[in-house]
Every structure is written in C-alpha cells, then in structure tokens.
C-alpha cells in the first residue's frame, strides 16, 4: 500500500506524519485544524458516510473454535490513557484484550496528549498491535491472503491492509488541544459512529439478532446542534432488531461526587441524553473524562465512569479497565480488569 506524507502544524512545530490512508484525513481531502464541535461533526458525518465500512466489524469475528458462537463474546473498555512517549499502559490494554480473545477494544477518549511525536508513538503502537492480532487469528494461504483461523467458511481470505483491527475510540477534550483534532482524525477518521454485531437468530421470532455499539462525540462537553439533529434524525439508530445496546462517551453523565471537579453537560443536554439512552434501549453507557470510578443505575440503564488508565494519573497498578461479558442466554455481566504496568521512570 502506498504511504503518503502529510505535514502537520502543531503550535509552532511541524513534523512529518506517515499514515497509509492519509487521503481520508477529512471529507474534503484537506487536513483541517478546526476543533469546534460543529466543525468536527460536520466533517465526521461526511467521512462516516463515505467510509462506513471502516467502522464495521469483520463478520468472521463472530466465529469461535470453528463454529458460530451463538451470540456470546466479551469486549474491553479503557479510558484517558494520555499517552506520551511511554505507551506502556496502552500496549498493556491491547495485549490484555488479545490474550483474552475479546471481540473488540474501546477507548473512551484523551488517548494521547497532543504533541505530534505522541501520535507517531500511538500510530506505531497500533500498527504493532494489529500485527500481533493478525499473527494470532489468521494464517496465510498459498496465494498470500489471510484466512481467519476460526471461521470454517473463510476460504477466500483477504489482504492484510483490509483486515479490521477491532480498536474503536471516541474523541476526548485533550485530543483536541494544540491542533490535536487534525492528528486524531488522521488516524481514526470520524468522531461519531455506530455498528452492529451479529449474534444469531432469535428462536422465538425467527429474526436475526444484533447488538448495537454507539460512539458519541462529547469531547467539548456538548453534543452541539448538528449532532443533536443527526441523533434526532436517527443517524445512529441502526435499522435492525437489537438484543443489546452499548453507548460510549468521553464526557461523563454523572459526577462521582458533588465535590468532583470536571465539566459535564448542560442540564438540558443531560436530560436529552438520558431520554435518548432509554429510547435506544441502552444497557450500559460508558464514560471517562473525570478520572474517577463511578457506577450507578438510572431508569434501568447502567452508567460506568472509568478511572484514568494513564500511568501518570494512576501511577500504581490498579483495576482501570472494564470487561463486559455478553452471554449466550442474553444476560450481561461485567468486571473490572487489573493493569500492572508501572512507568519506566517510576
């Protein structure tokens, strides 16, 4: 695949970033530095429509041990890694997900502090993680194409570049500073999106069942008018029958305590979101931002706010990740997952 080069201006510095799909930086094909929520959402809407396939899981990921997994899987969630030159905690999260055979890995924003060299570290880390993922889950056939080991129906295979690495982030407020949006979208594209996971047939109705994953752009502490309009138009609703729905946001809905310092949504938007989560039939809403663990339930929706997984904010080993277990009978359980990495200079 041809690699293109783009000059990114960040503050007074200019660096050379490399990425294999830089032509997708913005819908207009031009690297843009705008960070206002309306600008991001309008760019993301066009990008998302054009590159919808980038946000879909490979269908063969729903096979385990050579047979349909009957809708049972796990996924891993982390938040606020604030990656700099030491990617240890992020690397640990991705390895934990790989070792456990988690279906996908979600990051809740503030993924890297916004110096260009930090995004070069992040981009390299994700490329290495994809290599480990492919080495574990795929084998190369005689034509040099990659065959998913656990899908007995995969006989054609695919090119390495087309294999989807199942890492799905939302954008956070620290991802936007110092021209950070230009670097974030260069790697990840759209700041809001949704996708389905096929989980099998409903024996009672005969319909196909899916689980729904929704990712919101809440990095500015507001959805903005454009995103609210898109939500009200049903852009993120999907169009099939859903068994479960999971929603991911950087900004937290609830404060862990009255004394906790962190921005949340305006009251009107909070009410809008609470109502929207109910209409989506959300089972769990995941948030970050505040760097403090919080767990609560409101109107039958579970809200989990994760602590920061950053080795600077949380220098000691701790339970900074969450793993969700979606079981074959349709029930959901979750657990906090321990991280052990300690910063090199600690």
Contacts (Cβ under 8 Å, ≥6 apart) of 272: 223, 228
Query: How confident is the model at residue 314, as a pLDDT?
Result: 94
| Average pLDDT of the segment spanning 266-283 | 95
Distances in whole angstroms, Cα of residue 163 to Cα of each of 58, 134, 267, 313, 328: 8, 8, 42, 34, 26
Question: In this predicted model, which residue has the larger pLDDT, 47 or 64?
Answer: 47
Decide which of 1.20.140.10, 3.60.21.10, 3.90.1310.10, 2.40.50.100 is the CATH code for 32-136+164-339.
3.60.21.10
Comparing 202 with 43, which gets the higher pLDDT? 43
For 10-56, the pLDDT digits (tens) are: 332 333 333 333 333 333 333 333 478 999 999 999 888 888 877 77
CA distances from 7 to 22, 259, 298 (A): 11, 43, 46
Write down the pLDDT at residue 302. 98
> Rounded to two decimals, what is the model's pTM?
0.86
Mean pLDDT of 264-269: 88
What is the gyration radius of the CA atoms in the chain, in angstroms? 20
The residue with greater pLDDT, 266 or 282, is 282
What residues does 167 pair with on adjacent strands?
105
Q: What percent of the chain has pLDDT over 90?
A: 62
pLDDT band at 179 (very low <50, low <70, confident <90, very high): confident
pLDDT above 70 as % of the chain:
83
């Amino acid at each position: 695949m041809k690699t293109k080069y783009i000059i990114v201006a960040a503050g007074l510095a200019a660096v050379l970033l490399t990425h294999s799909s830089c032509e997708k930086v913005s819908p207009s094909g031009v690297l843009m530095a705008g960070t206002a929520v309306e600008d991001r959402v309008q760019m993301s809407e066009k990008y998302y429509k054009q590159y919808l396939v980038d946000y879909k899981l490979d269908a063969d990921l729903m096979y385990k041990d050579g047979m349909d997994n009957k809708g049972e899987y796990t996924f891993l969630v982390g938040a606020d890694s604030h990656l700099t030159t030491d990617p240890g905690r992020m690397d640990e999260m991705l390895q934990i997900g790989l070792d456990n055979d988690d279906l996908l890995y979600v990051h809740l924003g503030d993924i890297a502090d916004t110096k260009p060299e930090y995004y070069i570290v992040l981009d390299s880390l994700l490329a290495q993680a994809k290599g480990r993922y492919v080495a574990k889950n795929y084998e190369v056939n005689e034509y040099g194409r990659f065959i998913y080991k656990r899908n007995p129906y995969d006989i054609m295979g695919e090119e390495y570049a087309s294999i989807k690495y199942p890492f799905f982030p939302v954008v956070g407020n620290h991802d936007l500073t110092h021209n950070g949006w230009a670097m974030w979208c260069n790697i990840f594209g759209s700041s809001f999106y949704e996708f389905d996971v096929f989980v099998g047939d409903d024996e009672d109705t005969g319909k196909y069942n899916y689980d729904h994953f929704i990712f919101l752009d809440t990095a500015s502490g507001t959805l903005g008018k454009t995103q609210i309009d898109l939500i009200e138009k049903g852009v993120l609703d999907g169009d099939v029958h859903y068994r479960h729905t999971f929603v991911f946001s950087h900004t937290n809905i609830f404060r862990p305590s009255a004394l906790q310092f962190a921005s949340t949504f305006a009251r009107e938007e909070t009410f809008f979101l609470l109502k929207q989560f109910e209409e989506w039939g959300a089972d769990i809403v995941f948030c970050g931002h505040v760097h403090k663990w919080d767990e609560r339930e409101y109107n039958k929706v579970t809200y989990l706010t994760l602590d920061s997984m950053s080795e600077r904010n949380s220098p000691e080993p701790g339970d900074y990740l969450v793993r969700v277990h979606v079981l074959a009978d349709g029930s959901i359980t979750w657990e906090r997952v321990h991280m052990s990495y300690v910063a090199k200079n600690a």
